[in-house]
């Protein structure tokens, strides 16, 4: 395949999708060989009380050394990518290749605006009966500066 051939990628709109459930479905499809682009990563949601989700994230940031690692993502797109990465066998060749086929964006890039986007209706946040927080709100609370 040459550089100029366009790879058929599935575009998933993460708006109002539950993060963990979306990530597990995306990881499964990546392992099946699909190329996936996730847009609106900051609009994905994490279920749970706002204060407890933020305090858990802040506690997790205390783990490790700021220069030696582990390095913790603070941008919404990197948070989503790391959640998907956690569901892949990333130290094996098939997991490394699957992770290379994933692209995550905070908003929607201009070149993808008119393309057809896919969503998962069964994992929508409107079906949740508990409180939730958006990934962008979490990112702001743990140190992301837009």
For 58-110, write each residue's pLDDT tens digit: 999 999 998 999 999 999 999 999 999 999 999 999 999 999 999 999 999 99
**Cα 50 to Cα 16, 56, 127, distances in angstroms:** 16, 10, 18
Measured between alpha carbons, how far is 99 from 142 in angstroms, rounded to an integer? 25
For 64-75, write each residue's pLDDT tens digit: 998 999 999 999
Query: Which residue ranges make up each domain of the chain?
Result: 9-141
Report, as an integer, the average pLDDT of 114-125: 90
Contact 83, 20 (CB under 8 A): yes
Answer yes or no: is pLDDT of 49 > 80.
yes
Share of the chain above pLDDT 90, in %: 85
**9-141 CATH, one of 1.10.3720.10, 3.90.1180.10, 3.40.50.2000, 3.40.50.620:** 3.90.1180.10
- 40 half-sphere exposure, CB direction, 13 A CA radius: 18
For 16-48, write each residue's pLDDT tens digit: 999 999 999 999 999 999 999 999 999 999 999
In this prediction, residue 1 carries a pLDDT of 45
pTM here? 0.92
């Amino acid at each position: 395949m040459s550089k100029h051939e366009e790879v058929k990628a599935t575009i998933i709109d993460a708006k109002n999708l539950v993060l963990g459930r979306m990530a597990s479905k995306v990881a499964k499809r990546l392992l099946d060989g699909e190329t996936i682009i996730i847009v609106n990563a900051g609009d994905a949601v994490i279920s749970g009380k706002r204060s407890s989700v933020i305090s858990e994230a802040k506690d997790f940031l205390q783990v490790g050394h700021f220069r030696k690692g582990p390095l913790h993502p603070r941008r919404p797109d990197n948070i989503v990518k790391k959640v998907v990465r956690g569901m892949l066998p990333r130290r094996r060749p098939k997991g490394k290749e699957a992770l290379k086929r994933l692209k995550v964006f905070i908003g929607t890039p201009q070149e993808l605006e008119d393309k057809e986007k896919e969503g998962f209706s069964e994992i929508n946040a409107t079906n949740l009966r508990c409180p939730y927080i958006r990934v962008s709100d979490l990112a702001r609370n743990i140190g992301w500066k837009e």
